[in-house]
Structures are given as structure tokens and as C-alpha cells.
Structure 1
Amino acid sequence: MPLASHVNPEDIVQRLQATHITAPGNANASSHGTSSHIQPYDSRYTSQTNIPKYKIPDEGAPGDTVFQMIRDELDLDGKPNLNLASFVGTWMEPNATQLMQENLSKNLSDADEYPAMMEMHQRCISIISHLWGVQPGEKAIGSATTGSSEAIHLGGLAMKRRWQLKRKEQGKDTSKPNILMGSNAQVALEKFARYFDVEARILPVSKKSHYRLDPALVRENVDENTIGVFVILGSTYTGHYEPVEEISQILDKYQEETGIDIPIHVDAASGGFIAPFTHAGVGGSKWNFELPRVKSINVSGHKYGLVYAGLGWIIWRDQSFLPEDLIFELHYLGGTEKSFTLNFSRPGAQVIVQYYNLIHLGFDGYRSIMENCLSNARILAQSLEATGWYTVVSDIHRRAPHKEASGAVKKIVNQAATAVGGESAAPGETSADYVAGLPVVSFRLTDEFKAKYEHIKQETVSLMLRAKGWIIPNYPLPPNEEKIEILRVVVRETMTFDLLERLLTDIVEVTETLIENDEIDLQVLKKHHSRRRVRVKGDEEKHKKGGAAKGVEDGVRKMEDGIHRAVC
């Protein structure tokens, strides 16, 4: 949840007074002690009414007025469906939406009050456990969470506690736990290490390792204090799956040599609802509970589980891997409930919708959606490279290694069939013909393009696409490869072929516009240092002596500077 700081309204008002800002038609607006909305909705004749924004008003305002004001302000937000930076789903079926609306008030922490919802929760755990290859005789255990961040923290805590218990039994020191992850790890993994006093051993990634955790570096960085290894099924940077089975084999050999058993937690925030359904899987290897070393897995229901934001899942392959002293028994809600979460109250509606999706779509329904996402991502990647301006860093559009030879033969056959009026075999292709990964397209300007048009910055492409409504981030690759910047598109269920065509058209138009303009024309798009300044020691005295006008000349901070940042 976002961490927000208090806004000091007096500080804002002081600056308003200092710069002689007053509301039009209301000379006393700045003396009311608030920064306010000026609204026309309640009555056209009282449109100068002040409604505070950062301090609760003494009196309320009409609901319709406040509703319309908030609605209008939200128009400034981007459109969720065009936010291609996010993995989080932005659409649900009408029936799913109705179920969510009807159950918004249900609290997942109140098991005794909502037994039907809790039964659906248990069914989801069972269904997902089977999807992830839980083995016969094992009793999987898990919980819904508010998202993968909480789930990762819970998985990490369980690994840390198991390591502590084993070390204490052996009479060994427990003060220096460490955990391994690639530098491409999502921030939640680093948060776990920082928040729970575990040394994060962050291993560099490279082009050779496909910008993901390099198995070659694992062996030399583990020791007796390693509580586990975070392995990511779908890098947020490029969509690559990390080689879970290969890392597991390295740890198997390490255990044979040293007797030290190091578990794996798979962060499958996105891949956990893709790999089980697609023809590609993870490229022919194992990644889930079929590997004994994988003790826990998390996934985001609100990503490719196709539920609105607010749902994650964490599952341990067996009850024995969730230490009992981490589980709380609660009795004050009318019954006995066992709980292992970082939150108490949390929404239950998302769990109900997750169950709806699993039963309604079934295996074939999920497979169809995920295959379509990957197909659209491949089309986008291939189209971008066809322009000659961009090179794609992600790999899902490239032939799988074992398909390359057969692919060359198939291409010749397709060409021959097309020449005589037959049908191409391409429509029969699936994700199994290509490198496995998330439906993510990470791309950058080619080296040749950058050499020819040195004045064109890649971030300008992102900026100009934003003007067209698309939210496509431009950012550096993980440490060790941070000199390379990429643009990234996450292809979700709602990315139709028509929308994909429009996106590609806009990317081409933006690039052509940049090519046709010279360096001087593009100066306006370059980032400038802010003209606002932070008042330093002595400014207050200078401001008092020089008066408000002098303060303006000296560059007094704008009113927004008094609004403290919210940290998400």
C-alpha cells in the first residue's frame, strides 16, 4: 500500500500569500487557511466556493459536487488499458465484475462469518497446487495475499525461520543469513532482505545470461548461511524465465559436496499463470514442485490470473516447510482461524473472482488466452525489428533451439505451398515453436540508428507515445548492463490485434517524426533542471526583509513543493 506523508496546509498558504496568489473573484481566498478547489458544480453562481484539499473541511460539500470534482480530476490519469508498463490486469468479464461488486464488503480475515468464501479460498489453493505439480503424498498449504510482494516476504520468512531452526539445533550462529537473487529481481525481493535483516547477495546479469540470474554464479556465492535462492519465473525487464531446474541441479551437487541443503523459492508473479497453460511451458525443463528443491511458489492473481488488483498467492509444497511458530491461531472473530500473513483485514472479493475464473475458463480457456498474448507479443516484436530502427532484447519471438532446424524446412514448405495457392503452416504454430517467456516485448533503438541520429534520445520515443495515450516506460537494464536502455511493452489479454496495429503505427509515426526533425527542434523535449529551488538557511530572513515581491524574484518554491511525496 502507498506510504503517504502529511501535508502542511499552513506552509502552502504561506507561499500563496507570499506570491500574491488569490482566487479569481475572491480576494480573501488565501486567508481561509486552506488550499482549495474552486468548483462550478454546486451552483454556477457560487463557483468560487473554496473546498479544502489537504485539510478536512469544517463543513461537508454536496455529494454530487464532490463526485464530479473527483471524477474530473481523475481524467488526468492515463487509461489503464493503454498502460503497457504494467503486468496488472485491467479488465474482467461482466459476471466476474458483478461477483466482485456484490462481495466488496467481505473481509478475508473473517473466516467464521464467510464460510462459503473461505471454502472457495481453499479450493483455489488446491487447484493452483495441482497446476504447479504438487507431488502425491504431500499436503500443500498456502494463502491468498494482497499481491506477490507480500507472498514473497512470507516465502522468504519461512526459509529464514527453517534455516534458523536448523542452525540452532546444530548449535551454530544464526546472525548472518543471506539470500541469492539476480540483479533483475523485482524490488519486492530486495525489500524482503532489507526489511527482515537478510544479506541480499545480488548477482549481476549479462547479455550472455539473457539478463537473468546466471546459474554459473550461484555455486560460488552460496554458503552455510544461505537461507535460499529466489528464482524468477519471468523477469520484469525482459520476460525471460530463469532456469529453475539448472539452478536446482547446481544446489543438488553443492549439497552432495557439503551436506548443506539450500531451498528454492520461485517468484512466479507473472509466469505462475502462464507456464502451466502454454504449449511452451518453460522450454522443456521443470520449474515447479516436480523439483524437490522448490519449496514454495508465489503468483499474482491480479496479473495473468485475470483478477483486478489486490490478489496474490503463496503455496508451500507441504505443511512441513511452513514452520509452525510462524502460524497464528486467532480466536476473537467467533471461531478458530490459523493465519500466516503480513496483513490482517484484506479483501475477499478477489478470491471469489479467482475461483470464478479458474472454473469458468478451465485449462483450455486459460491456455487460449495465454497463447494469444504470446502470439500478439511475437507479432509486435517481429514488426518492430522489421522497421530496421529497433532491435528486440526479449526472446519470445525467436525460434526455440530445438525448432530451428525444423523451422527452416517448414519455411521452405510454406513458401512452396503458398506459390501453388496452398495454405501456410504458420497458423498451426504455438508458443512451443518459440523461446519460452512472458508476453513481454523489450526493445531499443539499433546501434546503427543511434549512430546515424545521435540527437534522438530513446526516452523521447516514450515521451511522445505518452502524448498519444500509450504508457511505455524507457529505463536501463539491471546493474552491470545499465548502459543499455529499453522500452518495454507488456502484452495483456486486452491487447487486441487492432490495438496492436495502432500501437505499431504510432511507434512508426513517432520515430519518423523524430527522424524528420533536427536537433534544434528536439531541444524542447529534453529534460531541463527545475527552476524551483529549496530555500536554504538565511532565506527566511531574506524573505522577511525583501517582502513577497523579492521572494518571487528569488524563486520562491511553487505551492506544490509543500506537498510531501507519497512513497509507493
Structure 2
Amino acid sequence: MSLHEKDTIRENLDDDVYASIDLTVSMPKYQFPQEEQDPRCAFSVVRDELMLDGNSRQNLATFCQTWAEPEVHELMDLCMDKNMVDKDEYPQTAEIEARCVHMLADLWNSPAGANTIGCSTTGSSEAAMLGGMAMKRHWEAQRKAAGKPIDKPNLVTGPVQVCWHKFARYWDIELREIPMDKDRMLMTPDEVLKRCDENTIGVVPTLGVTFTCQYEPVKEVAEALDRLQAESGLDVRMHVDGASGGFLAPFCAPDLEWDFRIPRVKSINTSGHKFGLSPLGVGWIVWRDPADLPEELIFWVNYLGGNMRDIGLNFSRPGGQVVCQYYNFLRLGKEGYRKIHEACYDTAQYIAEQIDEIGLFDVIYNGQMDAGIPALCWKMKDGTDPGFSLYDLADRLRTRGWQVPAYSLPAHLDDLPVQRILVRHGVSRDLGTLLVADIKRAIEYFEKHPVQNSMTAKDASGFHH
């Protein structure tokens, strides 16, 4: 093309995106825009704002998966239009969900694994609430049959994640949460028995407590409840919150009895997007036997093209995460999950050793495979005053991109700050080494620049579950 002819097609040329007229003005932020925009420009604006988020791979506060294989990304693209609730339109996605439920029932040693009942959810919080609702309805049915009132239900737990506080508040249930003690940070059988009575709808031990990352003693609690029933006739059901541990213990601590091998355990929830290695957000709830899910919690929907069973608090939700969960089951099997999680435990124990060698901290939990999840948790040594707080340390680490939360424990240890690291798939030994180097560098900084007013829990950013 001759140079003099170029002006005749200039209006059809695409400008460089950052030289375009659309990006010479600020985009609307709080009012709905009047006009459409070039897709390249709109995309660039949104993408550039996302640069201001933290790097999720350095977010050691979250339990959620932040790395996935390229095949997972491709499956998510293929499933963008699949609605999990529409089982008639997407029957194969529904079949994949059912397979995952049966595989989890088998993994958790359900005696009815081939015909058990369960479903996917938007996360372990929704799954936990479904398990809680089933316990409540079962308790109500027994009370009504005996002619007794149902106006004062209670639920016994150890130190729990906020979803159980929500469940108790939303469904008018007294939450009897066992407070922490200096020498006891978890649920114990004795503390459970102190709080159980005829109005207890169930007991919920956690396999991976949010605050310290440790497993609560499910079998020991169940045995205590067995003795209680033998002595008093009081039959208290159990639901295990396996949000994290449900995808860890079967592979890395297979001899630990916490699941449906214990007859008193009637349901288990877990999070597929945590140590199940699926993208955000998918959870799972499985009942020991179909009879353990009250019929009134099952809905039958016939206006989507067929008469379909629906269990859940949500209705429409994406199917991609469920499909990716199935991919992980096929891709990894028990062998692959064990290899991945054992590598995470090894890295957690390595970081814990390095933290301990610094000399300023007491490691509360060091990533022991049969005692908790791949993580570590520490506090300042008693009587130590290094001139900074754990909140200061967490804040300083953010200058290098690390999110290592410092937070106060629940009652009665709410005056004790701790710090925690989650070691997920993708947190390698090299990454852990870089983190430890930055922790040491931060301590050296505080030695040269003493903190005048140390941060407290009120000043610090909240941590994420």
C-alpha cells in the first residue's frame, strides 16, 4: 500500500489500547455507565485493578487452593455454562457429582458407600449447615415423638470457624463452644460431657481447627458419648467438620479413626477447594446412611425438565468446580493425593524447625501428619519482649508480599496472639526458605528500628479462613 493511501483507512485502525480515547478518562465506579466500551479497554481497566490485589501464592493465611494444573483451567472454561442444579439439562455433570459423593463415602469408610446420600455445595460452610440442620431435625422428631418441647436446642463444639456461629444464630440454636485454656486448646471428652443434655442436637469435632490447625479427638469424644448413652440413655449424634482434614487424614493418617468407622458419626462435611485441590468454590456433605438425612430436607424440583432431587441452601451454582473435583480424583487417586499432601507436611515441618531456631517463638503446632493439617502455628516465648509484636511482624512481612496472619485466640485465650502459616499445594520448600529469610530480615529491621507503639489485634488486618 502506498504511504499516501494510508489516511483513507486510518479510521479503521485499532489504536494502542492505552492510547485510545476510552482510557484517557476515568471509568465509572459508582454509577452505572451510559455507553458501551471497547472490550479491550474494559478488559484492560479491570485487569489493571486486579494487579493491586495481593499475590495469592504468597497468601499463607488462606486454606483455599491457589494453584491448579493447566487441565483444571481448561475444564473450568468448558464448564462455564453448566448449572449444577439443572440435572436434566446437564445429566453428565449430575452423574459426575454423584460419583464424587460415592467416592468420598468410600474414602470415609461409609458402610453404605454404594448407596449413600450427599451432595456438592458452594463450600464447606454450606455443607456444615446442611449437616447441622439434619441433626436439628432428627432431634426435633425424637422430642416430638416423646411429647417433649423443642424450643431450646443446643450444639456442642470446640473452638470453631465462624460458619458454626452463623448456623447457631440463623437457626436459633444455643452454641456451647468449649473455650480454650492455656493447657487445652481443643475439645476434650470431659469438656463435651459437661455441656451435653437432652436438648443437645449434636456434637461437632473439627478435623483441623482454624486457630491452631490441629485435629480434635473424634474417636475419644465418640467413646465418651457411648458411655453417656449407656449410663443415661442420652443418644447424641456427631457431625465431623472435616473442612480441611477430610481431604488429608485418609491419605496421610489412614489409621486415624475419625470418620464413618465410628457409628456415632452421622455426617461429614469437607471443602473441595481447600485440600481437595479444586478451584473455589466447592464443598461436600455426605451422610453415613440415607436414613440419616431427614426427608423434609430433600426437595423435588420438576420445572427444569425432570423430577430432580435437590439438597442445598443455594439453587443455581456453577458445575465446573465439581467437574474439576472429579478430574482430581481420577488424576491423582490415593497415591497422588498422598504425595502432594506429604510434601506439604514436610515443608510445614521444615518451616516450623526454622521458626523454632530463631529463638523468639514457641511453636504450638509443627505440622505433624497425624495431629493436624499441613500448617504451623506459633506464639512469642513467655517473658520475651523483642521490641515488636506478632502483629508488627505480620505487617512488616506484607512489604515483601507475604500474608502471614497474626490474630488473637478465642475465649478464654483472647489475650494471646499467635501467628499461623498454611502450607498448601504450590508452597514449595524453596518458597518456604524465602519466607523464613524474610522473617529473619524483618526481625533484623526491628532491631535497627525499634517499634514505638506496637500494633494490637485492633490495629491489625483480619485474617482469612
For normalisation by structure 2, the TM-score amounts to 0.92
Deviation string 1:241-278 (CA, Å, 9 cap, x unpaired) is 00001110111111112212110000000000000000
Question: Does the 8 A contact of 2:391 with 2:457 survive in 1?
Answer: no
Does residue 70 of structure 2 align to residue 99 of structure 1?
no
1 CA distance for matches of 2:175 and 2:146? 24
Identify which of 154, 172, 175 aligns with 1:200: 175
CA gap of 1:120–1:529, structure 2 versus 1, over 3 A, is closer
Letter in 2 for 1:57: P
Task: For 2:20 and 2:70, locate their aligned partners in 1 and report how far apart those are by CA, in whole Å.
Answer: 38
Q: Given the superposition, is the C-alpha separation of residues 464 and 58 from structure 1 closer, same or farther in structure 2, using an over 3 Å criterion?
A: same
1:354 lines up with 2:325 in the alignment: yes
Deviation at 1:49, TM superposition (A): 2.8
Alignment correspondent of 2:166: 191
**Does the 8 A contact of 1:142 with 1:313 survive in 2?**
yes
Alignment of 1:38-49 (within 5 A): 43=19, 49=25
CA contact (8 A) 1:147 1:312 kept: yes
Equivalent in the alignment of 1:497: 429
Instruction: Give the residue type in structure 1 aligned to 2:176.
Output: R
SS at match of 1:229: strand
| Residue 331 of structure 2 is aligned to residue 331 of structure 1 | no
* Contact in 2 for aligned 1:160/1:227 (Cα 8 Å): yes
Q: Retained in 2: the 8 A contact 1:139–1:317?
A: no
Of residues 434, 441, 444, the one that matches 2:376 is: 441
In structure 1, the partner of 2:190 is 216
Structure 1 residue 124 corresponds to structure 2 residue 100: yes
Correspondence for 1:89: 65
Tell me the residue number matched to 2:7: none
1:159-558 map, 5 Å: 159-182=135-158, 184-209=159-184, 211-278=185-252, 280-281=253-254, 285-397=256-368, 431=369, 435-450=370-385, 453=386, 455-519=387-451, 522=452
The answer on 1:70 being equivalent to 2:46 is yes
The SS at the match of 1:218 is helix
Task: Tell me the TM-score normalized by structure 1.
Answer: 0.75
Q: Secondary structure at the match of 1:133?
A: coil
Structure 2 residue identity aligned to 1:309: L
Structure 1: any 5+ residue segments left out of the alignment? 1-39, 398-430, 531-567
Larger radius of gyration: 1
How far apart are the structure 2 equivalents of 1:390 and 1:245?
32
SS at match of 1:252: helix
Query: In structure 2, what is the Cα distance between the partners aligned to 1:502 and 1:47?
Result: 38
**Does the 8 A contact of 1:233 with 1:241 survive in 2?**
yes
SS at match of 2:280: coil
Letter in 2 for 1:75: M
SS of corresponding position for 1:52? coil
Alignment partners' CA distance in 2, 1:479 and 1:374: 29
Displacement after TM superposition at 1:116 (Å): 1.1
Residues 43-96 of structure 1 show CA distances to partners (whole Å, capped at 9, x for unaligned) of 466765343211101222222222111111111100010000000001111112
For residue 229 of structure 2, give the secondary structure of its aligned residue in structure 1. Answer: helix
User: Are the equivalent residues in 1 in contact too, given 2:22–2:41 (CA < 8 A)?
Assistant: no
Is the Cα contact below 8 Å between 1:240 and 1:395 reproduced in 2? no
Which whole-Å deviations, capped at 9, do the CAs of 1:497-552 have from their partners, x for residues lacking one?
Answer: 11011001001110111122234xx55x758999xxxxxxxxxxxxxxxxxxxxxx
CA RMSD of aligned residues (A): 2.1
Residues 404-423 of structure 1, C-alpha deviation per residue, up to 9 Å, x if partnerless? Answer: xxxxxxxxxxxxxxxxxxxx
The one-letter amino acid of 2:325's match is Q
- Matched residues, percent identical? 42
Aligned 8 A contact 1:138 1:318 in 2: no
Partner of 1:559: none
2:146 partner letter: Q
